[in-house]
Amino acid sequence: MALSYAWRLVSRNLRRTLTYLFGLALAVGLFSGVLFFVDASASQMTRIALAPVKLDLVAHATTPSVDVVKVAQSIAAQRGIKAAQPVYTTDFTSAGKPGGSQMSHAGRMFAMNPSYFQTFDIVQLSAGRFSAGGAVVSEGIINALSLKLGDTIQISFSGISRTVQLPITGITNVASADALFASTSGAENTLITDVVLVDASWFNANLGPSLAAFAASQPGGTNGLITYDPAIHIKIDRSLLPADPTRAALQTEALRRQVERASSGQLKATDNLSAAFTTVKSDVLSAKILFIFLGLPGVALAAYLSKFAAELFAEAQRRELSLLRTRGATPRQITAIVAISSLMLAILGSAFGLVIGVLSLFVAAGAQGTAALNPLAAQFDWQLLGSSALISFIAGLALTFLAAFLPTFGALRREIAQERRTVQRVPAQPFWKRAYLDLISLVAAAIILFVTQQNGGFKPAANESAAIALSFYIFLAPFFAWLGLTLLVLRLLEWVLTRSGGPVALIFRRLFGDIGEVAGKSIARRARQVGAATTVIALTLSFGISLTLFQQTYSHEKQLDSQYVVGSDIRFTPALNSAQTPAFASKLQLAGVKGVTAVARDPQALVGSEQNTVYGIDVPSFRQVAYLPDSFFIDGAAQRTIDAMTNHTSDYALGNASQALNALNSTPNGVIISVEQAQKYNIRVGDTVLMQLYSATTRKYVNVQAIAVGMFIYFPTSSQDSDFILNRSFMLGQAGTTAVDYFLLKTDGQAHVTALADQLAAQYQQVMPVVIQTTTTVIKTEESSLTSLNLAGLSAMEQLYTVLVASIGLTVFLLAMINERRREFGAMRALGATLGHLRRFIFAEAVTIGGVSLLLGGLIGILLAQMLVLLLGVIFTIPANGLAWPGLELLLLAGVVILGMLGSALLSARRLTGLRVVEALREL
């Protein structure tokens, strides 16, 4: 009986059921949408973090006698392994031209099969090819020994008396081949610039046995040099890795053990993916927290809306169930009916919500344009969403229990327990008001902000610190601020509305005629309901606006960070063996290029006893090309800066780019220094700075005396090492060279950057090996996966919800108010009010709720965005200088919201057209 009646209760009141289902589905939809987005983004983050790892596992033989060719074959056949290649490593003591006097430093030789280059994308040949009878030599050796393709190179080894001579068949750039240098100890890889690659068969025929014998005779090693290291480079099948970085890390670890197990005791494997997994694990956690906190207000609002939708019909449902009670249904039966009907609604609403969640993901994917987030894409991994779907479904059930079951059940229990009272009871103040929860939340937010600031949470990332860690608790600040502001706005709005009946009535009479006066009084005396409606919509808007602003600021910051790292829009770096002079800049002056500047770089310069990177710039062209905001510079001569440096605070006197660059330009031996290094070396403006520049020509250090003429916090071209900036002409002159290291290009618009980079790549492909970096490629490779997050998708999703919740929210509130006051409207009609009167009445309410919501929503939105930017600015190198305003997007959002509200008002007013006076007056 309970089941059939519950079904009738649900199915025969379609309007009621659909309204509730829609409210619930909206809440579950947003919740699941955010979770789905987090899942999909997390999987992308894992993918992004793993992308730069070019060599997954390296298994080193524990003894020289291990047959790595055979073991590699058996490993390659293992489950989860895609490929395995034997690689032999040995360090050579020197290399040079046969008979020549100039020799290179000690370097490393790798021997591999020709198929290695197809299997692994580690070694890039900048010229020539890998040949069985020849050697591929690194740009470092080529440059240092003035070698070229076709020359012969002679190499000496420790422990064997004879040297080997090989023709140079190829040139390679090993700058990004650090995976080759992975050590068995797991310590940081040392990048060796002097490298020779040879064929494994040649190696085994000519060097392998002798080196193996020598290595066997020297178990303790030879002065840290690798004598003979047979190893296996392994590529795992990444498609089999779970998207979750934690589980993927476990699986990789299991594969590493599996590899070691293949030849027990003979191999020691190193997992190159683990570091990436560690980083991405913390980034994923931060991203999850970020997304959930960004999405939480929307979910709370949607949940409130669903509760409101449930309450809309609670009274009607209560009446029906009371009738059932009077006809003999027991309290147990009624409870069962309420429970079953609630469960039906919960299941239907949650299922509907999950569909909306997937659709939201589709909206997000539309903005992001990547298949990983697009549920309609063929390669979309539906398994990703499994646990989130389950969580959302359970949340839907819980929400229904709280929003639909408990209120109806409570009302029924009260009804059963006592007669309805005719005298209206004055409702008590809600708990949050009595407990001043609004003020407590705001104080909590302020305390968190204060503590974060005291702990240095808002300080920009120092140049040398690459890792960024976000604490969970800092996200509580915007949450508490949002909660506190919500409740405070509600309290203040009620207060203002209650006291502004007269003025509101007066204004409304002017706007809406005489009936406006009544509407004004109605609004003032229904302050609690109007205040609640206004607050909910205002907060929905604030949520949408803050996220739009935050997203824009985030994208802007990402762009600035990448410009800072690249130095300008494009960086053109010729290979070491084809270094160019500053005059080459004129060749890069293509159509669409506004300016080019050549930059010299010495990564081996010494300041004191420490190695530092010194840059040389041509001030006039550099200032036209490089990204140089004034905020990068400080006034190094100001007493305030000196005090700050002495006290190790960051309260520097502000400077500007022009001042620092002018000083450098007018002082040939001037140097501008990062305040960090100035502090470290105790340098003040005017001090003489002694440094040693490394001359690539003479391969010797040259003493240089420079004068500190300015200071900066950041300097474009590198986020890591741009600490000492000299005049280029001075630097090159002192080092005795004319070669520069790279060129910065300023384009006439961001839109042209990629096209110009492609054009340059095509143009120089056959001419010289070059590396071309743009702001876009830097965002993809150099930033942490946290800063590479695409918030546009989440923002698109949230904007859709802002429009939906604001419009539907207003409709629901207006319809609820009409529903609640059908008798009032009936009485008005009976007393002679025309439909026009009633429409103007409703419109006045809609304008109040909508207008005040827009105003408050905008203000709170800006406040929240400021707070989010302040809190999350830490993940960017350059702190945000205020909010970035997406004018058009905000206007569009406001326009759509206003249209939605207008539609709501018209829809609600239309409801009045069908008002039957007699029926309205007859209602209980």
Partner 1 sequence: MLSITTKPSPAGAVAHAASSDVMLQTSDLSRIYRVGRNTVTALDGVDLSIRRGEFVAIMGPSGCGKSTLLNLLGGLDRPSRGSVQLDGHNLSAKDDEAMAALRRRTLGFIFQRHDLFPFLTARENVEFPLLLAGICSTDRRLQSDLMLAQVGLSDRADYLPDELSGGQQQRVGIARALINHPSVLLADEPTGNLDSATASDVLDAMTVLVRQAGLTLVMVTHSAEDASRADRIVRLRDGRIVDDGGDNNGS
Which CB, 406 or 921, lies closer to partner 1?
921
Choice from 283, 494, 517, 569 touching partner 1 (CB under 8 A): 517
The pair of three-digit structure tokens given for residue 679, joined into one six-digit string: 């502090």
Choice from 307, 829, 839, 840 touching partner 1 (CB under 8 A): 829
Cα–Cα distances in angstroms (integers) from residue 311 to residues 318, 330, 355, 731, 801, in the given order: 10, 24, 24, 76, 22
Which CB, 601 or 829, lies closer to partner 1?
829
Cα–Cα distances in angstroms (integers) from residue 606 to residues 521, 692, 714, 725, 846, in the given order: 79, 5, 21, 13, 71
Cα–Cα distances in angstroms (integers) from residue 823 to residues 266, 317, 826, 828, 845, in the given order: 89, 19, 5, 8, 18
> Which range of residues in 24-32, 39-47, 483-491, 826-834 is near partner 1 by CB under 8 A?
826-834
Choice from 665, 823, 892, 902 touching partner 1 (CB under 8 A): 823
Distance CA 766, CA 788 (A): 33
Site for partner 1 in 55-114 (CB under 8 A): none
> Where do runs of H (alpha helix) occur along 580-702?
619-625, 639-647, 657-666, 675-681
The answer to whether residue 275 forms part of the interface with partner 1 (CB under 8 A) is no
> Which range of residues in 11-19, 52-60, 332-340, 825-833 is near partner 1 by CB under 8 A?
825-833
Element (H, E) at 318: helix 273-326
The answer to whether residue 911 forms part of the interface with partner 1 (CB under 8 A) is no
Nearest distance in Å: CB 912, partner 1: 11
The answer to whether residue 921 forms part of the interface with partner 1 (CB under 8 A) is yes
Which CB, 307 or 839, lies closer to partner 1?
839
The answer to whether residue 320 forms part of the interface with partner 1 (CB under 8 A) is no
Nearest distance in Å: CB 831, partner 1: 5
Beta strand pairing status for 267-271 and 81-96? unpaired
Nearest distance in Å: CB 818, partner 1: 14
> Which range of residues in 376-384, 482-490, 513-521, 845-853 is near partner 1 by CB under 8 A?
513-521
The answer to whether residue 918 forms part of the interface with partner 1 (CB under 8 A) is yes
The answer to whether residue 822 forms part of the interface with partner 1 (CB under 8 A) is no
How big is the site for partner 1, counted in residues (CB under 8 A)? Answer: 27
Nearest distance in Å: CB 448, partner 1: 41
Check the CA dihedral 576-581-585-586 and report its sign: negative
State residue 50 phi and psi, 5-degree precision: -85, -20
Burial of 152 (0-12, 13-18, 19+ CB in 10 A): middle
Burial of 55 (0-12, 13-18, 19+ CB in 10 A): buried
The answer to whether residue 510 forms part of the interface with partner 1 (CB under 8 A) is no
Distance CA 657, CA 689 (A): 21
3-class DSSP state for residue 642? Answer: helix
Beta strand pairing status for 700-712 and 742-747? unpaired
Which of 261, 231, 256 lies closest to 64 in space, CA to CA?
A: 231
Vertex 375: Cα angle to 372 and 378 (nearest 5): 75
Which CB, 516 or 710, lies closer to partner 1?
516
> Please, which residues bridge with residue 87 across strands?
112, 231
Which CB, 438 or 517, lies closer to partner 1?
517
595: left (phi > 0), else alpha (psi -120 to 50), else beta?
A: beta
Beta strand pairing status for 164-173 and 135-138? parallel
Choice from 281, 526, 571, 839 touching partner 1 (CB under 8 A): 526
Which of 876, 128, 35 lies closest to 460 in space, CA to CA?
A: 876
> Which range of residues in 245-253, 258-266, 519-527, 738-746 is near partner 1 by CB under 8 A?
519-527
Question: Residue with structure tokens 């900048």?
Answer: 126
The answer to whether residue 515 forms part of the interface with partner 1 (CB under 8 A) is yes
> Which range of residues in 273-281, 548-556, 571-579, 913-921 is near partner 1 by CB under 8 A?
913-921
Which CB, 484 or 516, lies closer to partner 1?
516
The answer to whether residue 842 forms part of the interface with partner 1 (CB under 8 A) is no
Any residues with CB less than 8 A from the CB of 224 and at least 6 apart, and which? none
> Which range of residues in 72-80, 132-140, 511-519, 644-652 is near partner 1 by CB under 8 A?
511-519
> Which range of residues in 479-487, 524-532, 585-593, 775-783 is near partner 1 by CB under 8 A?
524-532
Element (H, E) at 160: none
Which of 26, 30, 10, 18 lies closest to 306 in space, CA to CA?
A: 26
Choice from 220, 749, 832, 882 touching partner 1 (CB under 8 A): 832
3-class DSSP state for residue 913? Answer: helix
Nearest distance in Å: CB 526, partner 1: 6
The answer to whether residue 271 forms part of the interface with partner 1 (CB under 8 A) is no
The pair of three-digit structure tokens given for residue 773, joined into one six-digit string: 């970096």
Which CB, 121 or 514, lies closer to partner 1?
514
Which CB, 247 or 910, lies closer to partner 1?
910
Nearest distance in Å: CB 849, partner 1: 16
The answer to whether residue 824 forms part of the interface with partner 1 (CB under 8 A) is yes
3-class DSSP state for residue 378? Answer: coil
Nearest distance in Å: CB 319, partner 1: 17
Which of 759, 481, 725 lies closest to 597 in space, CA to CA?
A: 725
The pair of three-digit structure tokens given for residue 19, joined into one six-digit string: 């309204």
State residue 856 phi and psi, 5-degree precision: -65, -40
The answer to whether residue 424 forms part of the interface with partner 1 (CB under 8 A) is yes
Choice from 586, 831, 887, 888 touching partner 1 (CB under 8 A): 831
The answer to whether residue 640 forms part of the interface with partner 1 (CB under 8 A) is no
Nearest distance in Å: CB 310, partner 1: 24
The answer to whether residue 518 forms part of the interface with partner 1 (CB under 8 A) is yes
The answer to whether residue 827 forms part of the interface with partner 1 (CB under 8 A) is yes
Tally the residues of the chain: 924
Nearest distance in Å: CB 838, partner 1: 10
Which of 235, 230, 269 lies closest to 61 in space, CA to CA?
A: 230
The answer to whether residue 428 forms part of the interface with partner 1 (CB under 8 A) is no
Which CB, 417 or 831, lies closer to partner 1?
831
Choice from 165, 190, 217, 834 touching partner 1 (CB under 8 A): 834
Nearest distance in Å: CB 524, partner 1: 8
Choice from 238, 433, 521, 587 touching partner 1 (CB under 8 A): 521
Nearest distance in Å: CB 395, partner 1: 38
Distance CA 867, CA 861 (A): 10
Beta strand pairing status for 195-199 and 107-112? parallel
Which residues sit at the interface with partner 1, rule CB under 8 A? 424, 514-515, 517-518, 521-522, 524-526, 823-824, 826-837, 917-918, 921
